Copies of this chain bind each other. A is one copy, B any other.
């Protein structure tokens, strides 16, 4: 891991804990045990650090959902399963980056902000397509696609806030439960 990567990683951790604006370049420097001015040997600005974190992860998400959606061997149900898996994995592997992606993107400016918004829109569009296809082929209930989209996406996007605490469950069990809850709901009908 290069020095630049280390700085970005530490900065991501700090951003996720205190928010972009509340973290100074001196804070970041202290975390990698150098002086603030030395950061500029590796990165052009504070903004560039945020951009690297946000756009990098956004690309990972978009590329994955695109591959999934494009794969003709996947059913709607399988596509959703793959997407859930991806969110669980990334939320466990890089919870700080996910946190930054979720809440600190507002502090992006200009071109980077535009890029982020485009990526986000693309991601939502891919998932929207999967949902609409599902409704059309009658594998998904005929409810408002936007409500379905954001309802599921809200849960997946904020997995990072609680998923690390679930140590009593294996990742497999977590995935199985989450999938059941998201796809089949929680109400048990025809009881007894």
Q: Which residues of A contact B (CB under 8 A)?
A: 17-22, 77, 103, 106-107, 131, 134, 138-141, 143-144, 146-148, 150-152, 154-155, 157-159, 161-162, 165-166, 169, 173-174, 177-178, 180-189, 191-192
C-alpha gap A103/B104 in the complex (Å): 10
Q: How far is the CA of A159 from the CA of B164 in the complex (A)?
A: 23
Assuming the contacts A106-B19, A155-B154, asked whether A147 and B161 have C-beta atoms less than 8 A apart, the reply is no
Q: How far is the CA of A157 from the CA of B192 in the complex (A)?
A: 33
25 CB contacts below 8 A, A to B, read A19-B19, A19-B106, A19-B107, A20-B22, A21-B21, A21-B22, A77-B187, A134-B186, A138-B188, A139-B187, A140-B186, A140-B187, A140-B188, A143-B177, A143-B180, A143-B181, A143-B186, A144-B173, A144-B177, A146-B165, A147-B181, A154-B155, A182-B185, A182-B186, A184-B187
Copy number in this complex? 2
Closest to A169 in B: B144
When C-beta atoms are compared, the residue in chain B nearest to A102 turns out to be: B103
In the complex the two chains form, is A141's CB within 8 Å of B187's CB? yes
Report the separation of the CA atoms of residues A157 and B154 in the bound assembly, to the nearest whole angstrom: 9
Report chain B residues within 8 Å CB of A191.
Answer: 138-139
User: Given known contacts A146-B162, A152-B186, A155-B155, what 15 new A-B pairs fall within 8 Å (CB)?
Assistant: A18-B106, A21-B22, A103-B103, A134-B186, A139-B191, A141-B184, A144-B166, A144-B177, A148-B186, A150-B162, A151-B178, A154-B162, A157-B158, A184-B184, A184-B185
Most buried by B among A146, A150, A151, A183: A151
**Distance A147 CA – B107 CA, assembled complex (angstroms):** 31
| B166 in contact with A146 (CB, 8 Å) | yes
- Tell whether, in the assembled complex, residue A22 and residue B107 are in contact, meaning their CB atoms are under 8 Å apart: yes
Give Cα A173–Cα B162 distance, bound, in whole angstroms. Answer: 30
A180 to B142, CA, bound (A): 11
